[in-house]
């Protein structure tokens, strides 16, 4: 078997859960794509996030340090923590020796702790979310050349990029330069003109690279970039790393198609019929003013009888809960799965929360919290200007502006306002960011053809089946080899869904190996039709182990047609079930009757039917 690939993600979190959420979303798609390639992927997360329950829900093992917030709350000396944290990170990565290291937002860590390990042999993927202009955590730009790939995460309401919406998994990855602007806008690099030293050999969309003396904007729509440093998402990318940069849409842990339907979501949230369900959130719950903000919102809105408040306190919330009539209080880390049940939202403008709400089409009012690196005021302003959200101002103490809150509630009560916000919010957020980022990362460690074949298979329907049934990578690899002619993941999923509960992919593979060469879709349709009949009869007989033994040892004739054999074997299994007979004894009877009959199709089929008669009546038929 091929050696498992090992991926380690590093996510530093303080008062939020965004960094951890983002790497978990990417790892989720990496595991999906790897399994669709028949490769085992072992994933580890090193983090300071206090929201470990989120990783547990995603089936990811987390190794953690306390966050800086927790260290301050515990009154521990900062110097002790930094020494321990650096050594812990260095030794953890040294022991794990990953094939791929994924780092979110802070390329050198927040205090330079990643510096000594960035020269390890592992390939490295940096996930670059927007940061405040001028932000420089431990020499931000200086660490970028250590990374093999840099994924720039787009923001809703920002300039759309061609690779955000036209990403082609089967084509070579678009470069940063090749996907810059989709529409002609103002000059993105004012004052930059082309001279004889400027690289004009970059791929260009539109009418070509700018001529000498021409500005970027003058060149019309195109993907040209100057050869010097490039600024994107508030980060300056040195010329040396420009070719390694790729753009992706916002990275979401759950895409809209993965959410519960509205009826189910409202039942899960306990929302009464006819009530206007309003989501209230101050982020992950770790913000210093989160309790004050939520308390003020609940106090102001609880008396309004037409509202049902769904309070997403967040997994990091440590304040007093507010429960009562008309309030659903949540600290679960995956509340997004029930966003289809919401009618509107008032939320902090964190990156993940904002884009989850907009992608789900929830009419939303946003307020900004002060963060070290995340420019939430800019996000609110940009999305409000795009007509995708309503802006809400907070006072210095974290409480909402009373007049502004009243105006927003009045707006959100109007169906036409909610419809407009819903349509506009979904239009500013492109989907598929987690899948694209995972693809770019796996590009560093998987063969291109292997990855492209996996991507073609990895439809949401097939991925759901793989996550529910959790087959081994080796079994998947065997299935992909057998079904190499099938490139439609949904078609594969339809066949795999015919495996009854209590039976496994290995059982299916055991049966398929008995059949003649499967060359096209028609062959597979016939094969899976036969499997459905045999598995349906076998599912009600014996236990899981007995069924596996039967499939491995059941007699089979190379001369008789598969259709005839399945027909008589189904009759035999029905007899075993009707008689309440042990499947092991039934197998012994079947082997005795068919011994030596494999070369004569008629004799073999007759022997199976005689075995069925013996099981049914308790004596040897024809004796």
* Euclidean distance between CA atoms 458 and 620, whole angstroms: 51
Q: Contact at 8 Å (CB) between 25 and 431?
A: no
Exposure string for 307-337, b = 16+ CB within 10 A, e = fewer: bbbbbbbbbbbeeeebeeebbbbbbebebbb
> Would you state the pLDDT for residue 134?
62
Assess whether pLDDT exceeds 80 at residue 157.
Answer: no
* Euclidean distance between CA atoms 568 and 418, whole angstroms: 61
Convert the pLDDT of each residue in 51-104 to its tens digit.
Answer: 888 888 899 999 988 888 888 889 999 999 999 999 999 999 999 999 999 999
% helix, strand, coil for the chain, step of 5: 45, 10, 45
The DSSP secondary-structure symbol of 2 reads P
Neighbours of 464 (CB within 10 A): 14
Convert the pLDDT of each residue in 167-201 to its tens digit.
Answer: 333 333 333 333 332 332 233 223 333 333 333 23
Domain regions of the chain by residue span: 5-248, 256-427, 472-617
The DSSP secondary-structure symbol of 97 reads -
CATH code for the domain defined by 256-427: 3.40.50.2000
What are 530-535's contacts with CB under 8 Å, separation 24+?
Answer: 530/562, 530/563, 530/566, 531/495, 531/498, 532/498, 533/566, 533/567, 533/570, 534/566, 534/569, 534/570, 534/573, 535/498, 535/499, 535/500, 535/503, 535/507, 535/508, 535/511
Computed over every residue of the chain, the mean pLDDT equals 83
Convert the pLDDT of each residue in 255-297 to its tens digit.
Answer: 999 999 999 999 999 999 999 999 999 888 777 788 899 999 9
* Residue scoring higher pLDDT (390 or 201): 390
Confidence of residue 163 (pLDDT cuts 50, 70, 90): very low
User: In the chain, what is the straight-line distance between the N-terminal and C-terminal CA atoms, in Å?
Assistant: 49
> Would you state the pLDDT for residue 211?
40
- Fold category of 5-248 in CATH: Rossmann fold (3.40.50)
Place of tokens 């690196």: 373
The pTM (predicted TM-score) of the whole model is 0.83
Convert the pLDDT of each residue in 330-374 to its tens digit.
Answer: 988 789 999 999 999 999 998 889 999 999 999 999 999 887 777
5-248 and 256-427 agree in CATH topology: yes
Give the contacts of 585 (CB within 8 A, at least 6 positions apart).
none
Distances (CA, A) of 317 to 15, 219, 226, 422: 10, 51, 46, 28
* Residue scoring higher pLDDT (68 or 160): 68
* Residue scoring higher pLDDT (335 or 142): 335
């Amino acid at each position: 078997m091929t050696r498992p690939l090992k991926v380690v993600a590093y996510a530093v979190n303080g008062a939020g859960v965004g960094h951890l959420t983002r790497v978990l979303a990417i790892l989720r798609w990496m595991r999906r794509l790897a399994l669709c390639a028949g490769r085992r992927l072992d994933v580890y997360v090193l983090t300071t996030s206090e929201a470990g329950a989120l990783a547990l829900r995603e089936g990811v093992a987390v190794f953690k340090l306390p966050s800086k917030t927790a260290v301050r709350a515990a009154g521990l000396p900062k110097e002790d923590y930094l020494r321990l944290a650096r050594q812990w990170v260095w030794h953890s990565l040294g022991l794990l020796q990953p094939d791929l290291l994924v780092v979110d937002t802070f390329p050198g860590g927040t205090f330079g702790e990643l510096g000594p390990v960035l020269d390890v042999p592992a390939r490295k993927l940096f996930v670059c979310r927007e940061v405040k202009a001028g932000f420089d955590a431990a020499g931000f730009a200086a660490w970028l050349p250590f990374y093999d790939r840099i994924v720039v995460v787009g923001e809703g309401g920002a300039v759309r990029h061609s690779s955000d919406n036209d990403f082609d998994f089967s084509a070579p990855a678009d470069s940063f330069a090749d996907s810059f602007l989709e529409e002609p806008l103002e000059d993105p690099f004012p004052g930059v003109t082309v001279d004889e030293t400027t690289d004009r050999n970059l791929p260009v969309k539109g009418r070509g690279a700018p001529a000498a003396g021409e500005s970027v904007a003058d060149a019309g729509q195109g993907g040209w970039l100057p050869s010097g440093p490039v600024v994107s998402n508030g980060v300056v990318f040195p010329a040396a790393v420009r070719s390694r940069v790729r753009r992706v849409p916002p990275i979401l842990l759950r895409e809209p198609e993965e959410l519960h339907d509205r009826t189910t979501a409202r039942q899960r949230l306990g929302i009464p019929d006819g009530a206007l369900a309003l989501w209230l959130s101050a982020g992950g719950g770790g913000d210093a003013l989160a309790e004050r903000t939520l308390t003020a919102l609940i106090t102001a809105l609880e008396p309004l009888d037409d509202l049902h408040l769904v309070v997403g306190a967040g997994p990091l919330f440590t304040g007093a809960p507010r429960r009562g009539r008309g309030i659903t209080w949540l600290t679960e880390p995956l509340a997004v799965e029930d966003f289809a049940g919401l009618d509107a939202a008032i939320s902090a403008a964190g990156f993940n929360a904002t884009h989850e709400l907009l992608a789900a089409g929830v009419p939303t009012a946003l307020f900004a919290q002060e963060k070290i690196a995340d420019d939430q005021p800019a996000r609110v302003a940009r999305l409000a200007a795009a007509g995708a959200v309503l802006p809400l101002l907070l006072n210095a103490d974290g409480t909402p502006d009373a007049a502004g809150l009243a105006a927003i509630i009045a707006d959100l009560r109007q169906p036409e306002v909610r419809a407009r916000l819903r349509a506009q919010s979904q239009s500013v957020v492109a989907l598929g960011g987690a899948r694209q980022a995972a693809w770019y990362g796996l590009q560093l460690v998987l063969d291109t053809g292997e990855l492209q074949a996996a991507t073609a298979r990895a439809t949401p329907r097939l991925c759901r089946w793989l996550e529910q049934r959790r087959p081994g990578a080796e079994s998947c690899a065997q299935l992909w080899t057998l079904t190499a002619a099938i490139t439609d993941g949904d078609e594969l999923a339809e066949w795999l869904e015919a495996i009854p509960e209590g039976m496994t992919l290995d059982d299916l593979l055991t049966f398929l190996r008995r059949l003649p060469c499967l060359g096209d879709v028609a062959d597979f349709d016939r094969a899976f039709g036969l499997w459905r009949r045999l598995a349906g009869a076998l599912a009600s007989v014996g236990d899981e182990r007995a069924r596996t033994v039967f499939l491995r040892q059941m007699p089979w004739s190379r001369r008789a047609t598969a259709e005839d054999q399945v027909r008589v074997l189904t009759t035999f299994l029905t007899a075993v079930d009707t008689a309440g007979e042990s499947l092991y004894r039934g197998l012994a009877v079947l082997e005795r009757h068919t011994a030596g009959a494999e070369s004569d199709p008629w004799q073999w089929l007759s022997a199976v039917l005689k075995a069925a008669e013996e099981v049914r009546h308790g004596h040897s038929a024809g004796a």
